[in-house]
Structure 1
Amino acid sequence: MAGTPTIFLHAELLPNIRQLTLHVSLPNSASEIDIRESTITLSESCRAVTVFTLHQDVELVETLKLPVKVTDASRRNLSFAGHRVDIGGTESKAQTAEYSFRLQVDPNDAGLTFTNKGFQEDDYVPWTASDMSTCAALHCKFCKQMIVDVASKPDTSSWQWKDLPSGNWAEMMDFWHCHKPDVHPDDKEGQKDIEAQNASVKGYGASNRVVATPRTGLVDVASFLVAESDCQNIKVLEQRPTSTSAKPASHDGKNARNIGCSGCSAIIGTEDSVAEGLRLYKNNIVVKHTGATEHVYETHSIDIITSSRFLDLIDHEGVRRFVIHAGQSNGILLWAFNPDLRYSSSSADHSIVSRRAMKVLYQNATDVERILEPENGVPTPLSLEELFLPENIYDELVLSLRRSNLLMPISARIFREWNVALLDRIEKRP
């Protein structure tokens, strides 16, 4: 027996142009819907829309809370006449009639100030050092085996959490040393002594590097750097063969060995020979906070952690296109099309609260090596960043992108040769 038809609503806010796009998907072809009996109305507060239609004498009603308040004048634009969207001629697509509306955002909405911040100003990193101040333990995401017991050994020095600097901080220091202002010849010797002292104290000298220290957790955008002596219930996993066209993660020119959970053998991190420690992937770790009940763990989705990595690379490297792979010849070519937008959706797995996300365009890449290292005579992509992910994290990301693509309106799933998806972003309210 066929399920009851439903109305699907999807709204996206573009804060830079102060417009909101509303998609309305009505069930089955337009011939089975009496558009004259269908209405779309804006609430009195201008923060929600309600769609009513008749489908085979069955009344269908759906309400969606908008990501932002729109102007009262938008009511005049909410009419199905003239807003039909062409979604193609395949049989499955023909079962849906889609309509699209452009609504103006109310400039006096207080919420617009928050959503209109540039992503550089936001704290988009999940689990910063301040967030981890109440951490009691790190556990395996899959079997909840304890990996790092922060609250243990009360008789020794207390545990500390520290944020790691930007990934390109060393390059920035080299640039500064090469392009610093000239010093008067009479002051050069004294300047050298001052620079040597600063390099030693402030840690940006050539001989300085980040090293994992016992009882200290260093927080990166997508990982925790900890000393091996602080970890338990872990084991070194055998390296699986990888394609010659794509190299796995390596440190100091050596392939890093994967670290797995001794309970379920899932990959939870990797060795870092340069930092003399272990990097635990945030995506495969859950956090238990002080005072939490026995089975309460905090976790972040693959969307949150991946979008934070993209935002960090956009912020510090100025790139928006990425080649993502798991050490195999195939991968994903991804374009961070819009790093910051808000959306709301009436799909079953979404709440009525609007969500913050980044819109990405992606397509399958069958030959990663050819994209990263093109043949002679083929232009080299300058603004393209390689991103290696462990196999289980890569598979989870691919699944998340495909799931997001299917949850979007049919007319918005494809942009030229690209698939469209939304990756949720972390949002920390003040």
Structure 2
Amino acid sequence: MDNLSAMTATPRFYAELLENIQSIAISIHLPSPSNSTTKLDLDSPCLINLHHDGRSTPLGLPGNVIPAASLALRVCKPGEQTLCYRLPVSPSKPFSTETENYVPWTAMELNKEAATLFNCRVCGAEVIPENRIKTWKDLPSGNWEEMMDFWHCHRPDESHSHRHIDKPRYAPLQRGYVAESGTALVDLTHFLLAEADCSEAVEVAEPTSAKQGPHILHCKSCKSILGVVDRKPPDDDFSGASRGWTLYKWALCDEKSKTFPLQCFLAAQLVDLAENNGTRRIIFTAQEVKLRVWVFSTDTRYTSSDTSRVMRAVKVFWQAGAGDKGGVMSAEGFEEVAIQKLLLEGLKEAIERGDQKFGEWRVGMVERFERRPYVM
């Protein structure tokens, strides 16, 4: 970068609220080394002004700091291009008490609506016609399904022979669930419903790879991806039969044309894996692509030069590939999770925006939902 570019470049900054130690960590990367013009002022409890080479840049903070924090900001050694500070947070105003892993379009919300319809996010073509779904139900978690499978393999009044119960009424619980017409099952990231409940605007595309990937659901009008055909595992008498159509929430919009970003649904899935399944070290795989993710914090508040407000996010450490170099780079202790390539690409796009590093790891943020309007 030449001198003219350095003079006109914008500083990069990142500020993270560290609630456990009641402080805010700040990192500022200057376009040129600090000099006699470089100084920082505490303009308000949540705003810092950076002065450098005749320019003033406001830096918003993810929380309120105490007035004495201005003393720490006075320290600015000349010749440095990266400035780091840790400022004490004001104890008088806790930032947030929200802990719920909220996602929009829950079964409870949808059942309260007099009529619900969903359209293609891209072109507005009708996907789930109005009044086609009479009941919305929460989809059982993976832990619930494993528990039911264990229960029916090990009933208290029978031996632990691992033989499956032959009675038909146990089969749906043992093998999962099948979408019934008029009823949609609601997950964090998708709806599972019967094929008959989708409009004619949805078409099925056959797998193109020799490895027979999933059958993709497309919008007939604009060809955008809406979801996949959900098939049971090829096991026993359920040889890959369809149990419904999975429609991605982020591919849809409701009757008010409200849509939601993909990365927020991905964040909800990461929170669920970490907090409900105890899985924080994951190797996400999609065909030949692998992404190694370590969920460091499920609830982080931060501001940066890329945001215009305080963000709530899942903080992850990540590396491309499966990590098979041995030592700290090995895949030991990581659980492999297969996901759709579209999701892996969306996750990678979200976390690649960060420019921080932690040793051999890169640091990324995946934005979380909050109970407030999100109109894209």
TM-score (norm 2): 0.80
Q: Structure 1 residue 388 and structure 2 residue 334: aligned?
A: no
Q: What's 2:181 paired with?
A: 214
Q: Tell me if structure 2 keeps the 8 A contact 1:7–1:61.
A: no
Q: Structure 1 residue 227 and structure 2 residue 205: aligned?
A: no
Q: 2:59 aligns with which of 58, 64, 84?
A: 64
Per-residue CA shift, 1:69-121, capped at 9, x if unaligned? 11222121112435987xxxxxxxxxxx210100111222132x42xx6xxx4
Q: Tell me if structure 2 keeps the 8 A contact 1:84–1:100.
A: no
Distance 1:326 1:144, change over 3 A: farther
In percent, how many aligned pairs have the same letter? Answer: 29
Per-residue CA shift, 1:32-82, capped at 9, x if unaligned? xx33x32211134x12111122x2xxx211112311111222121112435
Q: What's 1:354 paired with?
A: 310
Q: Structure 1 residue 422 and structure 2 residue 365: aligned?
A: yes
Q: Tell me if structure 2 keeps the 8 A contact 1:67–1:342.
A: yes
State the alpha-carbon separation in 2 of the partners of residues 151 and 84 from structure 1. 66
Distance 1:393 1:171, change over 3 A: closer
Q: Structure 1 residue 302 and structure 2 residue 268: aligned?
A: no
Q: Please, what is the CA RMSD of the aligned residues? A: 3.3
Q: Tell me if structure 1 keeps the 8 A contact 2:29–2:82.
A: yes
Q: 1:171 aligns with which of 140, 146, 153?
A: 146
User: How many positions carry a matched residue from both structures?
Assistant: 346
Structure with more helix by fraction: 1
Q: What's 2:246 paired with?
A: 279
Q: Tell me if structure 2 keeps the 8 A contact 1:7–1:60.
A: no
State the alpha-carbon separation in 2 of the partners of residues 330 and 256 from structure 1. 16
Q: 1:326 aligns with which of 286, 300, 307?
A: 286
State the alpha-carbon separation in 2 of the partners of residues 82 and 414 from structure 1. 23
Distance 1:83 1:178, change over 3 A: farther
- Greater RCO, 1 or 2 (C-alpha within 8 Å, sep 6+): 1
The offset of 1:24, in angstroms, is 2.0
Q: Structure 1 residue 98 and structure 2 residue 41: aligned?
A: no
Letter in 1 for 2:277: E
Q: Runs (4+) of structure 1 moved beyond 4 Å?
A: 82-85, 174-180, 203-209
Q: Structure 1 residue 160 and structure 2 residue 135: aligned?
A: yes
Q: Structure 1 residue 147 and structure 2 residue 113: aligned?
A: no
| Worse overlay, 217-226 or 262-271 | 262-271
Q: What's 1:236 paired with?
A: 204
The offset of 1:15, in angstroms, is 1.6
The offset of 1:380, in angstroms, is 7.6
Distance 1:382 1:204, change over 3 A: farther
State the alpha-carbon separation in 2 of the partners of residues 261 and 384 from structure 1. 34
The offset of 1:169, in angstroms, is 0.2
Letter in 2 for 1:239: P
The offset of 1:354, in angstroms, is 0.5
Q: Tell me if structure 2 keeps the 8 A contact 1:126–1:304.
A: no
State the alpha-carbon separation in 1 of the partners of residues 30 and 301 from structure 2. 23
User: Which sections of structure 1, spanning at least 5 residues, go unmatched?
Assistant: 86-96, 153-157, 183-187, 190-195, 249-254
Q: What's 2:162 paired with?
A: none
State the alpha-carbon separation in 2 of the partners of residues 288 and 206 from structure 1. 31
Q: Tell me if structure 2 keeps the 8 A contact 1:173–1:204.
A: no
TM-score (norm 1): 0.71
Q: Structure 1 residue 335 and structure 2 residue 294: aligned?
A: yes
State the alpha-carbon separation in 1 of the partners of residues 182 and 38 from structure 2. 64
Q: What's 2:223 paired with?
A: 265
Q: What's 1:364 paired with?
A: 320
Q: What's 1:89 paired with?
A: none
Q: What's 2:72 paired with?
A: 77
State the alpha-carbon separation in 2 of the partners of residues 208 and 393 from structure 1. 25
Distance 1:21 1:204, change over 3 A: farther
State the alpha-carbon separation in 2 of the partners of residues 8 and 131 from structure 1. 40
Aligned pairs (5 A) from 1:112-151: 113-114=96-97, 121-133=99-111, 134=113, 136-151=116-131
